[in-house]
Amino acid sequence: MMMKRILLIFVGGLWLVLLGCTGPVVQKDVGGFTRDVRAALFFKHLDLAVEKYAVSDASTFAVPGFPYLKSNRFLAAVKERPTYSAADLYWAGQMLKLGLNSRRKELANLPAAAFLEISEATGDLLERDTIYQKTESYALRLFGDDQTQPNFITVLKKAVTIPDEYSSMARFFGLYPLAGIPVTLATAMAYSRYKDWHATSLNDIKADGRVLRFFPEETESVVDQAFMDNLYDPLHLDDFGLPVLTKLDERLLANRFAPTIYQDVLQDYDLIGKVIWKENRVQVDTGQPKAYFYVSHSFLGGHPVLQLNYAFWYSERAGENAPAIERGPLDGLSYRVTLSRNGKPMMVDIMNSCGCYYFFVPQKEHVAKVVTKPGEIAPLVPAWLPTEIPGSRINLRVNSGWHQVQKVFSGEVSAPGHAYSLVPYETLESLPKSKDQRESVFSPAGIMKDSWRIEPYIFFSMGIQNIGYMRQRGHHAIKMVGRGHFTDPDLFDRSFIFKEVMEKP
């Protein structure tokens, strides 16, 4: 076997040498670009292996013709804004960074056999421990080649497109205009229930079990007020006008704005926990409370802002509170804090991790109007941010089984407590499965493995693939009627007219 491997790698290498002797080691690619053959060949076979073994990282989106780049909705939106034209190369560099981060996870999740296949096809001797360095080297080589092309940015901007989570064909064959009528009525009823919950006094919210308090564990380092006051210091901003943060900065910010959850616990399915692989299935260890966090970006009043995201996971959605069609294994609660440009929380938005029951909790003093578009349901704003924020931590009262947020409030309430630890969200995208194997808990389509519901058989007309299933970041459709995405960077500016842009004083 070893001799066969060495022979194949030798033949592959000899082919590349012979090709080099007949002319420049380049090829014509997208937009007529001249590129290094070896680098292009490497990414071709890497992509084939990623597809064959179904390890594609769906947290970002491919850029056709540019295999070393990945994009997201924020970066796709930036290309449409002329004010950022001077930052075009920085914009491309951010996609290179995203691409390399996604490749790192894909490489970690590939089985050992894939490295042999790529080695045999390219002539490179590749091992798990060294292939990322080769990937980075070839990505930088292609990025350097492409930058020499006079039409690089023009071609790249045309290539960057982000698919939405809705199928127009499914809506057409599902008679969406008719099917949307009862869904609109049901949504209005759900919104009314949410408003009633949030208008109810905390003491009057009924508990089915006992209320437990889950709070972020204390850390030795903290983000002090001086750090927050200088978050948007011009000396510390990138080419988009966003704060440049280290991994430590991100973790400390996440700890500062992480919520306290007052969870009604009737059964173990109400305990937040750690996502694990067990018996070849995605499960939640309720003995280890965790919050999975990541940083994202959006626009607020037309200006780029920083967001802190948190995902909490439950073993299932169950119990009498949850509608029967929504019950099933694995459940999640997603919580996001958007900081204004003075470093203070301007908006909180919350959903279940299927994208369902999405709602806004903005700072009331800065909202002039909630925008309702013709033919769409008005944004759900059942509550406003407590006036004590940011001086006090934001609290969430969550019901049993259904895991819906019934109240957003501040101030500590007496309840038995458990600390949860913060874990980078990307851990879920390359999670140890055995001693020598890692695997994402999400499919290449961005759906959480082993999560299922019967809802797709009922609501297929809404055009959302696997509606009701838990989803990976970047894949949350938040409207059944109309279209909307949790990661739409213009979501807030589409939904509200703000009284003022929160600039740094």
pLDDT given for residue 125 in this prediction: 86
Banded model confidence at residue 218, pLDDT cuts 50, 70, 90: confident
Whether residue 436 is contained in a domain is answered as yes
One domain, residues 152 and 226? no
Whether residue 186 lies inside any domain: the answer is no
Pull the structure tokens for residue 438: 């890692």
Task: Specify if 426 maps to a domain.
Answer: yes
Considering the domain architecture, whether residues 99 and 214 belong to the same structural domain is answered as no
Residues 258 and 145 in one domain: no
Per-residue pLDDT tens over the stretch 446-478: 999 999 999 999 999 999 999 999 999 999 999
Residue 37: φ, ψ to 5°? -65, -45
Q: Flag whether 197 is in a domain.
A: no
pLDDT value at position 4? Answer: 41
147 and 224 both lie in a single domain: no
CA-to-CA separations, 433 to 47, 197, 289, 426, 440, in angstroms, rounded: 23, 40, 19, 15, 9
Q: Are residues 216 and 142 in the same domain?
A: no
For position 436, what pLDDT does the model report?
87
User: What range does the domain containing 154 cover?
Assistant: 2-159
Q: Among 221-225, 308-312, 348-352, where is mean pLDDT lowest? A: 221-225
CA 481 from centre of chain: 22
Evaluate if residue 20 carries a pLDDT over 50.
no
Please tell me the predicted confidence (pLDDT) of residue 27. Answer: 54
Question: Within 10 A of 411 (CB to CB), how many other CB atoms are there?
Answer: 10
Say yes or no: 85 and 224 in one domain.
Answer: no
Whether residue 271 sits in one domain with residue 381: yes
Distance between CA 73 and CA 81 in Å, rounded?
13
Q: Which tens digits make up the pLDDT trace of 167-212? A: 999 999 999 999 999 999 999 999 999 999 999 999 999 999 999 9
Say if 181 falls within a structural domain: no
Give the rounded distance of the alpha carbon of 501 from its chain centre. Answer: 26
Q: Specify if 383 maps to a domain.
A: yes
Phi, psi of 502 (to 5 degrees): -80, 80
Q: Are residues 219 and 148 in the same domain?
A: no
**pLDDT digit string (tens) for 73-112?**
999 999 989 899 899 999 999 999 999 999 999 999 999 9
What is residue 435's predicted lDDT score, i.e. its pLDDT? 86
pTM above 0.75, yes or no: yes
Summary mean pLDDT of the chain:
91
Same domain, 254 and 126: no
- φ, ψ for residue 181 (rounded to 5)? -65, -55
> Based on the domain organization, do 147 and 240 belong to the same domain?
no
- Token output for 347: 């908006």
Indicate the residue among 159, 178, 193 that finishes a domain.
159
Residues 137 and 269 in one domain: no
The answer to whether position 475 is within a domain reads yes
Instruction: Work out how many domains the chain is built from and give that number.
Output: 2
Tokens of 195: 């408003």
- Domain boundary residue among 102, 129, 159? 159
Any domain includes 428: yes
